[in-house]
Chain A
Amino acid sequence: MTDASQTPPYQQSGTHRDDGLSRSGESGPSGAGTPPTAGAPAPGGVSDIEGFYFDGVHSRRHVVRITVDAASLSIHGETVSRTEPWSACQISERTRHGPRQIEFSDGARVAIPEPGAFNAAMAALGRSDSIAVRMQQSWRIALLSLAGCVLAVAAAYQWLLPWAAGVAADQMPRSVLVAVSDQVMETLDDYVLKPSALTADRQAKLRQRLADISQKLGPAELLFRDGGKFGANAFALPSGKIIVTDQLASMLNDEQIVGVLAHELGHVVYRHGMRAVLQKSVVALVAGWYFGDISSLLAGSAAAYANLHYSRDFEFEADAYGASLLRANGMSPTLLAGALEKLEASHVHRRAKPSEGTGEPKAEGKPDVSKPDASKPDASKPDTGKDNPDGEDNDYWSTHPGTAERIKRLLTREN
């Protein structure tokens, strides 16, 4: 490890230049005052190494014996004899199995099929391996590397990826947001949503309310649709379009809908939809690469799981935003909490199944983060299929955080 600063691993690829090595040799193991060859069994050179020499022009194999000393490497055979200083040699890395090869600067090379004696001679000369080779040869370092990989991936997933996706999403031009959103809306209209039956009067009233709270935030547009299998739901597209389903509108009063709209505006302002797409792409890419050879199924489920987690964070963020937006407009965050409560209750009722208290995810009835990959409408449908009795698991696996926890956070925020 002492020469880590002198010979960073990335400077030593499959082969390493010798000048870096001799420096590390001097300051390394032999730096304690002993001359490099002091411990070598054959001072002045080791010559019991067998190998092949190739001149780099012809394929002819010359059988040679190799001698190494502090300054150079020599080969001697019936047909060839040659001495090269270490600085003219590129030596392949030491491995526990397999040969080593030394390439001279003119393209000629020496192959040592059984490098045991050569390795010992090099060690005796104090010519140590590069840091990467020593890492690769140690089981302890390999296991530490494994732990390091797991930690690094976890950290990248937890902090780096959300941050990077946030930065990238913020940089994205508005035209892209609009294009994506229009495409999603088109898909949803084709497959899931139906035209709204809400009265024009109520639509206009709600549009006005949205305009009131969102005036400083840029474009926001309210659309009404029959939710189809989405049921009572609301979601935001990255371009600022917010869709409220008839089912939701008939369940909540206008004040509560404003609470929901404030939450959805949070998704718009933070560009959650775009961030979700970016994060998902990266996770899918990495998982696909790692598991690629073995099973795209495994990779797919890993990516899907990762996305569930992300949207939980987004929900909390949008809740917090919605709460402060409501307060800024002189309203109470309890509006949103009340809306959530009501949706939760209707959802539990609809499924005619007792909810496991706090852990039960709101499946059908909570405001949904926009899912721009709505080419598969089912993917943007909240978790209806699963009814996991295990409350904690449910909380973690659900697309949205447990409603009770969200309500609690909203109410605490107010105080």
Chain B
Amino acid sequence: MLEDQALAPRQAADALPPGLPPAHAIEPATELPIRFTGSGSEYFRIWIVNLLLSILTLGIYSAWAKVRRLKYFYGNTLVDGSPLDYHGTPIAILKGRIVAAVLLVIWIGVQQFGDLKLVGIVFVLGLIVLPWLLVRSLRFQFFNTSYRGVRFGFQGSTLRAYAVFGMWALLLFPGVVMSFVSPLYMVPVLLLMAPLAHQQLRKFLVDGVRYGNLPGSMRASVGAFYLVYVLTVLIVAGALLGIGLVVSAIPGLLRSAQTMVSMAGGNIGVGAGMLALVIVVALGAMVVFILFAGPFFVVRIRNLVWSRSQIGEHQFRSRAKVWPFIWITVSNFLLIFFTLGLFTPAAQIRKARYLIQSVALVPQGSLDDIVATQQDRVSAFGQETADLFDIDIAL
């Protein structure tokens, strides 16, 4: 089944005869497709073998596993018929991982055994080095990506990273303070500030990218980010209202929710019905957010950022659609749940295939004239630390 699914895009890719059209004949404004030829079943085998070897080597092999995984995803991403490639070396990644693991153990130790003050100090220290860390991470990631034999790079300055993240901190700080009064204050603060901060972050990322001698740039406006945020909030609010109405309209529902809660071990006394209602609505909000508003947000932000980004003069178009992506997200979620996680690799492939293939390259002139530039090697420390602490800025 999975093999069959995987064949579909593959055949489409075959339709481009690899040998025939030399790229210099491309007319301006022609869209070049981006194909993803990874297969869920094949990646499952890579994943499970990686997992076994990582367990048996107590995690040491995970650096090799990461290279295999990224090589598979990059190598199966074909822009105009030519694949990307990943160049990170396992040894570099392993070194980065060891340092990162030591930091993680220290952090867990501080969390478990330190007093509140120490936890706070370490946390703030972590926040202070975060921008520096992320710039290292991006440099490693882009430096180790190539297309047509020319490497990408990341030149965003650490200073600007601090400016961008400092803005996040400044914007969110009043919200955090206010949320001690009531968490509700957090909502307007986030809604007002987050789109601006998000746009600044994405601009920093895309503007920092280099492909050979071509700089990346992003033109997506703050207003467009605001629109996506407002729509997302409206979806959540509307769904909440709907759930609340349905729940309160059916008296029996309230009682069964109450029984469910008490069966799950919750010790609720008077006002249990109200509490159950709140719990049901909160759970509903979570589900709505994870399964509907989240995918909506991802798709709209992706389309916005990609369609307004360019490398040199070459532009992109992203046409991901909300409903298909919601379907992928929901079905992935259920399949992962019912297979106890075994569907995870296939789910990653499905998601990657949809998102990658929704992007097309719109070259302005020939892609043949890009020249590689000299770049310094970067250590994997930043990226591995960011990975291990689950810091992900690719929203």
Contacts and interface: CB of A to CB of B under 8 A. Distances in A.
Interface of A: 9-10, 13-15, 50-52, 54-61, 63, 92-93, 95-101, 103, 107-109, 111, 113-114, 132, 135-139, 141-142, 145-146, 148-149, 152-153, 156, 176, 179-180, 183, 277, 281, 285, 290-295, 298, 372, 384-386
Nearest to A50: B19
Contacts of A92: 71, 75, 85
Main DSSP-derived SS at the A contact region: mixed
A15 B45 CA distance: 18
A113 B18 contact: yes
Given A113-B13, A149-B55, A291-B341, A142 B44 contact: yes
Given A54-B150, A98-B83, A114-B18, A152 B64 contact: no
Contact of B113 (A108, A137, A179, A294): A179
A139 B78 CA distance: 26
Nearest to A384: B267
Q: Which 4 A-B pairs have the closest CB atoms?
A: A54-B149, A14-B71, A59-B370, A385-B265
B108 interface: yes
Contact of B68 (A13, A100, A107): A13
B64 A61 contact: no
Contact of B55 (A58, A136, A152): A152
Nearest to A281: B108
Interface in B126-150: 147-150
Contacts of A58: 149-150, 368-372
B368 to A, nearest CB: 4
B18 A294 contact: no
Interface stretch (B46-54, B166-174, B176-184, B218-226): B46-54
B61 A97 contact: no
Given A97-B76, A149-B48, A109 B68 contact: no
Contacts of A108: 149
Contacts of B13: 113
21 contacts: A13-B68, A13-B89, A54-B148, A60-B23, A60-B369, A61-B148, A97-B37, A97-B42, A99-B75, A109-B149, A135-B45, A136-B45, A142-B45, A146-B342, A148-B52, A149-B52, A156-B55, A183-B115, A293-B336, A294-B344, A385-B266
B45 A109 contact: no
Interface residues of B, number: 68
Contacts of B55: 148-149, 152-153, 156
A93 B52 contact: no
B390 interface: yes
Nearest to A100: B75
Given A61-B368, A98-B37, A132-B49, 15 more contacts: A14-B70, A58-B368, A58-B369, A58-B371, A60-B369, A61-B82, A92-B75, A93-B71, A99-B37, A101-B75, A113-B78, A132-B64, A142-B48, A180-B112, A372-B112
Interface in B242-263: none
B84 to A, nearest CB: 10
A48 B45 CA distance: 30
B127 to A, nearest CB: 21
A290 B51 CA distance: 11
B12 interface: no
A81 to B, nearest CB: 16
Contacts of B372: 56-58, 107
Residue among A54, A95, A97, A136 with most chain B CB within 10 A: A97
Given A113-B81, A142-B48, A152-B55, A298 B337 contact: yes
Nearest to A109: B149
B22 interface: yes
